[in-house]
Amino acid sequence: MSRDSGGPRPETAGLEHHAGNWVDGLLLHTGVEDTAPAVHMGERLDRATLRRRVHARHAELTRSGLRDGGTVALRLPPSLALLTDLLAAWRTGAQVVLLDHRLTVHETDRALRRVTPQFVIRPAGPVRSGALRGFHAVDAVVEPYAEGRPAATGHALVQLSSGSTGPSKVIGRTAEDLVAEVRRYTRIPGMPREGARMVVLNSLVHAMGLMAGLLHSLHAGVEIVLPERMTADGILTAVAARTAPTVVTGVPFHAQLLASVSAPPPLPHLVGAISAGESVRPGVAEAFTARYAVPLGEVYGMTETGVVAADLSGANRPATGWPAPGIDVKTVDGELLVRRPASPYLGAADPDRWSDGWLRTRDAGALDPETGLLSILGRLDSQVSVGGLKVDLTEVEWTLSGLPGVREAVVVHDGAIEAYAVLDEDVTARTVESLLAERVAGFKLPRRIHALPALPRTTTGKPVRDPAALRAAALEQV
């Protein structure tokens, strides 16, 4: 993969998020040939066809009553409908709220009460079940929301955080912010460029899948590809479908899944892979590269900020990567802070989270003064006191995850240190406890290792770290 991104594409002047000028100039009219492939989700659309569908849907949404300054929530599965409705709604000048289609009815109702959109776009009928489906073919309907209100802020995008450690936060981003991040991705060495393909495994309504998978790909002339099935075979089939240079992007779970394939087929056009959402556990990147002869790069970011740091070469582990172009970071008392011109939060939020232009990430970080490399060292709330002694739960979790027979693990403090792990069939929790005792001090050892068939995950694929949810998952095995 070339380290030259090809530079930003031409854009229309002005970044106001009405009249679709930033959507057209940044994403749909970028100088890429009309016949170039734009997206492949079962059906393959070229650039011109995608534009026509977005423009037609824009007209339909306008007839439904959506206007500049209006609000609409999209609750659609990964699909062509999600992509076209998102771009069409932005072209109207509306504020778009993205809701994960996998939320329960209760969770969806609670989210709608928090964000109060004027309209909700949902599938016209039942969505075919199957957690491993990569995309869906759906017809979308527009419904008024009885308690909906016009946008109270100038944000173009409203998202809910993943909620891996607690309740979701409501986060807003302006059109200017989205444009800046898309441009930022074009300057990250190793990002795919025009003519390449990106097989996207991330959720399309959360940070990496939305910004790198969809928006950067449209801007850069990269074909967006979703596999029919989110199995190892389904992903590899999608990679092998065309001869263009191909990059896979997902979360550590996907990297681990692909690394576990004992004899993958030859994939000469696979040129790279990207993992985001959390750090990959020890050994996964090395196993992935041994299987596919390409690096597993990493991206660190937040819903509040988008991409913060990246190293797509995979050559600088354990460092996470260099701060992305245009991103200012610093560390204060071991915590990573990111410069933001305004608070990203809508509604009630921790008042200490953003202050004087800096967002506290709640992540422990370290900046190398010589190279500028940023290392993410885990959550600050992973440091607990046990009998007056400090224990870093991230250290224990990484050590546990690296033991033979441990596929993945989460370590939390729930009155005492508790571990939840997925083990190989021939491995027992008692065996793992003995191995762990050889590697960490006694006061750091979990009170118990709970063996689970799978770790509970958020809708973005991150392991849940809420002790109550983990406890409930363990009780189901009793």
Residue 362: both structure tokens together: 């709640």
Q: What's the gap between Cα 215 and its chain centre? A: 13
Please indicate, yes or no, if residue 9 is contained in any of the structural domains: no
Same domain, 320 and 464: no
Domain that holds residue 421: 387-475
Same domain, 442 and 311: no
Residue whose C-alpha is closest to residue 444's, from 393, 403, 398: 393
Please indicate, yes or no, if residue 406 is contained in any of the structural domains: yes
Domain containing residue 470: CATH number: 3.30.300.30
Structure confidence at residue 107 (pLDDT): 81
Same domain, 462 and 359: no
Contact present, 204 and 75 (Cβ < 8 Å): no
Same domain, 319 and 394: no
Same domain, 362 and 448: no
The string of DSSP codes covering 324-369 is PTT--EEEETTEEEEE-SS--B-SS--TTSEETTEEEEEEEEEE-T
Contact present, 459 and 100 (Cβ < 8 Å): yes
Residue whose C-alpha is closest to residue 412's, from 440, 442, 449, 376: 449
Same domain, 319 and 431: no
Spatial distance between the Cα atoms of 148 and 405, rounded to a whole number of angstroms: 51
Structure confidence at residue 3 (pLDDT): 31
Same domain, 427 and 336: no
CA dist 464 to 38, 454, 458, Å? 34, 11, 6
Structure confidence at residue 451 (pLDDT): 94
pTM: 0.82
Same domain, 163 and 237: yes
Boundary residue ending a domain (367, 400, 428): 367
Residue whose C-alpha is closest to residue 10's, from 213, 193, 223, 183: 183
CA dist 230 to 200, 201, 250, 268, 460, Å? 10, 8, 11, 21, 14
Please indicate, yes or no, if residue 377 is contained in any of the structural domains: no
Spatial distance between the Cα atoms of 136 and 121, rounded to a whole number of angstroms: 15
Strand, coil or helix: 397: helix
What is the three-state SS of 154-187? Answer: CCCEEEECCCCCCCCCEEEECHHHHHHHHHHHHC
CA dist 93 to 149, 370, 454, Å? 15, 45, 42
Same domain, 392 and 268: no
Structure confidence at residue 377 (pLDDT): 85
Domain containing residue 233: CATH number: 3.40.50.12780
Number of domains in the chain: 2
Spatial distance between the Cα atoms of 40 and 307, rounded to a whole number of angstroms: 25
CA dist 270 to 161, 220, 237, 451, Å? 31, 18, 12, 35
Residue whose C-alpha is closest to residue 47's, from 262, 177, 195: 195
Give the phi and the psi of residue 446 in degrees, each rounded to 5: -65, 145
Spatial distance between the Cα atoms of 437 and 442, rounded to a whole number of angstroms: 7
Same domain, 295 and 396: no
Please indicate, yes or no, if residue 132 is contained in any of the structural domains: yes
Boundary residue ending a domain (335, 367, 399): 367
Please indicate, yes or no, if residue 314 is contained in any of the structural domains: yes
Give the mean pLDDT per block of 10 residues along the chain (478 residues). Answer: 36 43 91 96 96 97 96 96 98 95 84 95 83 89 95 94 62 95 96 97 93 97 97 96 96 92 95 91 90 96 94 90 95 94 84 90 92 88 73 86 91 91 93 92 91 86 86 86
Spatial distance between the Cα atoms of 235 and 248, rounded to a whole number of angstroms: 9
Please indicate, yes or no, if residue 14 is contained in any of the structural domains: no
Contact present, 230 and 133 (Cβ < 8 Å): yes
Same domain, 64 and 200: yes
Please indicate, yes or no, if residue 91 is contained in any of the structural domains: yes
Please indicate, yes or no, if residue 378 is contained in any of the structural domains: no
Amino acid at 180: A
Same domain, 130 and 265: yes
Structure confidence at residue 105 (pLDDT): 85
